[in-house]
Amino acid sequence: MTSVILVSNLKKSYGSLTAVDDVSFSVEEGEIFGLIGPNGAGKTTTMECVEGVRTPDAGSIQVLGRDPGTRSIHLQNRIGVQLQEAQLQKRIKVWEAVDLWTTLFPKTVDGEKLLEELGLAEKRNTRFMNLSGGQKQRLFIALALINDPELVFLDELTTGLDPQARRTIWEMVLRIKERGKTVFLTTHLMEESERLCDRVAVIEHGRLIELGTADELIARHCPERTVFLSAADVSAEVFSGIPGVAKAEIKDGVLHLVGVGAGFVSSVIECIAEHRIRVTDFQTEMPNLEDVFLKLTGHSIRD
């Protein structure tokens, strides 16, 4: 694996506000890397420094072996960028935007085919202002892909979209990866990062506080599994002896079992079988990145 992006000790302030504080990470070729954190955590600033849209105060950035700060044409030809809250001219038509972008790069893919793949072929004569939020985002993805980039930046891609549109966009991002591209994205949606990202970096108050795959982060910070068990005649004591159990109690007639370790759930099932308990309902709850975030920062990502 080679690093496509190398960021070390990145710093950026706006006046007295430190937006990004000593952030270092790398993005490997072919992966989907997510920068996750609440609004205002410094995700967009970090990403825009890497894109070369913003100039960092300190630190070094290498994108495809080059410094993005120089606005090098050579680099811009190899990356694709989708910016948060970007707009186009209100009355520009979809095909005109794609056509304009095609002119800007020396090597491009077939714009019409791209529109078709992104489900925008029927909208090719529609003005930008008349597109829905999801269609606008799909157009921005098209523009980010027009130069067949090796590396694609997606900033808060699905913010403000309905769940249906969000799923469609996720499918598209996964397809970008299938084509062998590297994707660097930011999101404050934990579901999005779990669905898309190979690795995530958690950023809070401008500092990078964790980095790894979702499974690694969960295992590291939230190893507990919870089993909810409903049975005709169940007592907590039966389960208190199984390995890894941390808590066994009955709430509203449902047995809550909390434990750590990969084998915890199987142990519970074995115990049920052993004692021939007649189970009417069995549910497990796995911690997710949301829980990891809560554990790391003490607050929910939406606060």
Judged by CB under 8 A, which stretch of 24-32, 96-104, 108-116, 171-179 contacts another protein? 96-104
Does 17 bind another protein (CB under 8 A)? Our answer is no
| Stretch 47-66 residues interacting with another protein (CB under 8 A) | 51-53
Exposed/middle/buried for residue 184 (C-beta within 10 Å: 0-12, 13-18, 19+) = buried
211 binds another protein (CB under 8 A): no
CA-CA distance, 98 to 213, in Å (whole number)? 35
- Which two structure tokens, joined as six digits, stand for 80? 């694709």
Residue 105 or 228: which CB sits closer to another protein?
A: 105
Residue closer to another protein, measured from CB, 101 or 239: 101
The one-letter code for the residue type at 288 is N
Is residue 101 close enough to count as binding another protein by CB under 8 A? yes
Q: Which is nearer to another protein, 83 or 121 (CB)?
A: 83
Would you say 18 or 72 has its CB closer to another protein? Answer: 72
What b/e readout covers 200-238, taking b as 16+ CB neighbours within 10 angstroms? bbbbbebebebbbebeebbeebbebbbbebebeebeeeb
Q: What are the angstrom distances between the C-alpha of 179 and each of 79, 165, 278, 300?
A: 15, 22, 50, 35
Using the rule CB under 8 A, which residue among 35, 88, 185, 257 binds another protein? 88
Rounded Cα distance, 38 and 60, in Å: 24
Please provide residue 168's backbone torsions phi and psi, each rounded to the nearest 5 degrees.
Answer: -60, -45
Q: What are phi and psi of 157, to 5 degrees?
A: -60, -40
**Minimum CB distance to another protein smaller for 29 or for 96:** 96
Selected from 3, 13, 24, 76, the binder of another protein by CB under 8 A is: 76
Q: How many angstroms separate the CA atoms of 1 and 174, rounded?
A: 19
Binding another protein (rule: CB under 8 A), the pick from 21, 59, 69, 92 is 92
Contact pick of 6, 100, 209, 294 for another protein (by CB under 8 A): 100
Exactly one of 61, 81, 157, 172 binds another protein (CB under 8 A); that residue is 81
Q: How many CA atoms lie within 13 A of 153 on its CB side?
A: 23
Cα–Cα distance for residue pair 198/181, rounded to 1 Å: 13
Minimum CB distance to another protein, residue 302 (Å) = 24
215 is a site residue for another protein (CB under 8 A)? no
Q: Which is nearer to another protein, 127 or 195 (CB)?
A: 127
Positive or negative CA dihedral for 64, 67, 73, 74?
negative
The residues in 111-150 that bind another protein, with binding defined as CB under 8 A, are: 127
Nearer to another protein, 67 or 285 (CB): 67
Interface residues toward another protein, by CB under 8 A: 51-53, 73, 76-77, 81, 83, 85-92, 96, 99-101, 103-105, 127
